Structure 1
Amino acid sequence: MTWFKGLEDDSIDSSHFTTRKRQPKTMASLSNILQGKDESLRDYIERFTREAIEVKG
C-alpha cells in the first residue's frame, strides 16, 4: 500500500481505485464521530480532537 499512498493527486482515472485513497477529513465528517457505548467521555474527546486536527481548512 505504500506505493499507492505515494501516487500524485488525480493520477488515477478509474473509479475502481479512487475509493481506496484516503479522503481528506472535513468539518462535516466530524459530526459522524460518536461516543462509543463503553467509551469514556475523556477517551471520546481525545479521539475527537485527534480527528479534528486532521481537518483541512
Structure 2
Amino acid sequence: MTLGLQQPPNEILCCSFPTTLKGVAREWFTKLPTSSIDNFKQLSNSFLHHFVKGQRPKRPADQLLTIRQGEKKTLRSYVKRFTRETLEVDKADGKVQLTTFKARLKSRKFVFSLMKNPPKTMAEMLLKA
C-alpha cells in the first residue's frame, strides 16, 4: 500500500521513460550523448527544453529532394538519413516520400526490382530496402 504513495527511484524513472517515446521524441532520445543525463529531473528538463521551448519550424516537403544516396554510401545509411529527415518535414505525404526516396537511390538494380513489385506505402518500401 505504501509503495503507491512513494515516488519511484530515479533509476526506474530514467529507464522507463524511453519506452514511452515514439517518432521524433524517440529520435531525440537516441541522439543524447552517453552519460549526459544524471537523473530524471535533468532528463525531463532536457526533454521539455527541446520540445517545448526549443521548437523549430518544420521544413517544407520539397526538402526531401535534397537527400540522395551518395555513391559510396550504403542503402542502410540512406534509409536512416531519409527517415530522420522525414521527421523534420511538415506534412510529408506518403506518395511524395515514396517517389523522392526511389528517385534518389543509386542502385539501379534495386530501383528495377521496385518497378517489378512497387511498394504501396513508405513502410513497405523501408521493409524492402
- Specify the TM-score bucket, using the shorter chain as the normaliser: 0.5 to 0.7
| 3-state SS in 2 of match to 1:31 | helix
Matched, 1:28 2:65: no
Q: Provide Cα deviations, 1:11-53, integer angstroms capped at 9, x if missing partner.
A: xxxxxxxxxxx87421111011111111000110100100000
Structure 2 unaligned residues grouped into runs of 5+: 1-52, 92-129
Q: TM-score, normalised by structure 2?
A: 0.26
How far, CA to CA, are the matches of 1:48 and 1:30 in structure 2?
Answer: 8
User: Where does the alignment leave 5 or more consecutive residues of structure 1 unmatched?
Assistant: 1-5, 7-21
Residue 74 (structure 2) pairs with residue 40 (structure 1): yes
CA distance in 1, matches of 2:85, 2:70: 15
The answer to whether 1:53 aligns with 2:87 is yes
The TM-score, its normalising length taken from structure 1, stands at: 0.53
Which residue does 1:3 correspond to in 2? none
Q: Give the Cα–Cα distance (whole angstroms) in 1 for the partners of residues 90 and 80 of structure 2.
A: 18
Partners of 2:76 and 2:68 lie apart in 1 by 13
The number of residues matched between the two structures is: 37
Q: Which has the higher contact order (CA 8 A, sep 6+)?
A: 1
SS of residue matched to 1:36: coil
**Percent identity of equivalent pairs:** 41
Structure whose alpha-carbon radius of gyration is higher: 2
- Aligned-partner SS, 1:48: helix
More helix by percentage: 2
